Amino acid sequence: MTRFVVRRTLSAIALLFATSVVVFGIFEVIPSYNPARAIAGRNATQTTVQEVAHKFGFDKPFYVQYANTMKLIFTGQVIDYQDQLNVVDQFRQRFGATLSLVIPAGILWLLAAVLLGSISALRVGRMADRALMVLAILGVSIPIFLLAAVLLYLLAFKTTIFPNTGYVGISDPVQWAYHLILPWFCIAVLSVGFYSRVLRSNLLDMVNQDFVRTARAKGLSRRQVFVRHVLRNSLMPIITMFGLDFATLLGGAALVTEFVFNIPGVGQYEAQAIGNLDVPPILVGSLFTAFFVVLFGAAADVLYALLDPRIRLTG
């Protein structure tokens, strides 16, 4: 266990370092990118731009700039170029909205995927199975912003069943959920199809295994065999996939959804920062995402070991 933690921590640090260098480097090699001009404004004179560049240290060599920025990030003092706001504070304030969006959506899509995947595996070739196939292929063929826009048009504009975008804090749970139902649905529905298809094929591979026959032979009911043996063993690939997808969503991959539904989460902040080529928030956002990817990758491995005692944690 100690070995696992140490090795994972070391590889996490390596990944975070590589991520930060690459993100920083991308903006360094772009010829037309001039952050000093962006900060100084369009009408700034050449001298003002130079003063700004000097103040922010843009005239220093790459590695000095990189080291300074990383120091500012880890002391929590880094500010964005656009509005001169503290980036770490922004992430802290906005993370609640992202959690409100992503956690229920994640639960929804995982539960629905397990349910639908089981149903379609138990009813191979019937209507339910085919309907799921259609949903799965539609889910990977529709961009989420199109689905969101169409749903908003039909359900929030044509008929005012749902509110037209916006976000209400969790202190008012009813309004909070009411405003988030459509975004949850959009995130969940596009993933459910794919996840349940993967689960379905895992289940179908599993039912012909010897241990399933043994379990039946020793007298367990069909339901017990399915839940305790077949389903439990089929969940593993889903868990790894889910860990990665969920991690990137937490880190801001829900930016399109947050953008369309005007939810003030970290993704929306990242989208704005990217549009303005504002390096510090992009850098913090990438590190944030990479951190969750590593964390959930490790969590999935631990869960694997718990579900299957044959697997040892080796890192």
Partner 1 sequence: MALDPLIMPAGAREGEPIPPEAEFKEDYTPAIGPWKLALRRLRRNKVALAFLGLFVLILIVCLLAPVYSADIAHIGPDTTNVTGTVKVGGHVKDIVSPQGLPIGPTWTTHYLFGADTEGRDVAVRLLYGGRTSLEIGFLATAIIIVFGTLFGLLAGYFRGIVDAVLRPLMELIWSFPPVILGVAVGTALALGGIGPIKGNSLLIPSFIIGVIYIPYLGKPIRGEVLRLREQDFVEAARAQGMGPWRIMVSEILPNAASTIIVFIPMMLAYAILLEAYLSFLGAGVQPPNASWGTLISDGIQIIDTTPHLALVPGAMLVLAVLSINILGDGVRDALDPRAQVRIKT
Site of tokens 């026959």: 213
- Beta carbon nearer to partner 1, 30 or 302: 30
Question: What's the closest the beta carbon of residue 251 comes to partner 1, in angstroms?
Answer: 7
- Beta carbon nearer to partner 1, 19 or 175: 19
- How many C-beta neighbours within 10 Å does residue 172 have? 11
| The one among 248, 264, 295, 303 contacting partner 1 by CB under 8 A | 248
Question: Is the torsion defined by CA of 114, 118, 124, 127 positive or negative?
Answer: negative
- Beta carbon nearer to partner 1, 166 or 173: 166
| The one among 289, 298, 300, 301 contacting partner 1 by CB under 8 A | 289
| The one among 282, 284, 287, 298 contacting partner 1 by CB under 8 A | 282
- Beta carbon nearer to partner 1, 64 or 154: 154
Question: Longest C-alpha distance within the chain, in Å?
Answer: 85
Site of tokens 């010829």: 31
Cα gap 119→126, rounded to integer Å: 10
Instruction: Tell me the C-alpha to C-alpha distance, in Å, between residue 239 and each of 60, 219, 263.
Output: 46, 29, 27
256 phi and psi angles, rounded to 5 deg:
-65, -45
Question: What's the closest the beta carbon of residue 102 comes to partner 1, in angstroms?
Answer: 13
Using the contact rule CB under 8 A, the part of the chain among 54-62, 105-113, 149-157, 169-177 near partner 1 is 149-157
Site of tokens 């995927």: 113
Binding to partner 1 in span 7-66, by CB under 8 A: 15, 18-19, 22-23, 26-27, 30-33
Cα gap 18→20, rounded to integer Å: 6
- Beta carbon nearer to partner 1, 63 or 157: 157
- Beta carbon nearer to partner 1, 100 or 257: 257
- Beta carbon nearer to partner 1, 136 or 225: 136
- Beta carbon nearer to partner 1, 177 or 233: 233
Total residues contacting partner 1 (rule CB under 8 A)? Answer: 49
* Three-class DSSP category at 191: helix
| The one among 290, 296, 300, 301 contacting partner 1 by CB under 8 A | 290
- Beta carbon nearer to partner 1, 104 or 193: 193
Cα gap 76→223, rounded to integer Å: 53
Using the contact rule CB under 8 A, the part of the chain among 54-62, 86-94, 193-201, 300-308 near partner 1 is 193-201
Binding to partner 1 in span 195-224, by CB under 8 A: 198, 201
Q: What single string gives the DSSP state of each residue in 119-142?
A: HHHHTTTSHHHHHHHHHHHHHTTS
Name every residue whose Cβ is closer than 8 Å to that of residue 23 and which is 6 or more positions away in sequence.
279, 282, 283, 286
* Three-class DSSP category at 86: strand
Q: Which two tokens stand for residue 52?
A: 């700004």
Cα gap 315→312, rounded to integer Å: 9
Site map 106..145 versus partner 1, x via CB under 8 A: -------------------------------xx-xxxx-x
Cα gap 91→111, rounded to integer Å: 29
Cα gap 285→59, rounded to integer Å: 24
Q: Give me the residues that bind partner 1 (CB under 8 A), please.
A: 15, 18-19, 22-23, 26-27, 30-33, 137-138, 140-143, 145-146, 149-150, 152-153, 157, 194, 198, 201, 241, 244-245, 248, 251-253, 255-256, 259-260, 270-271, 274-275, 277, 282, 285-286, 289-290, 293
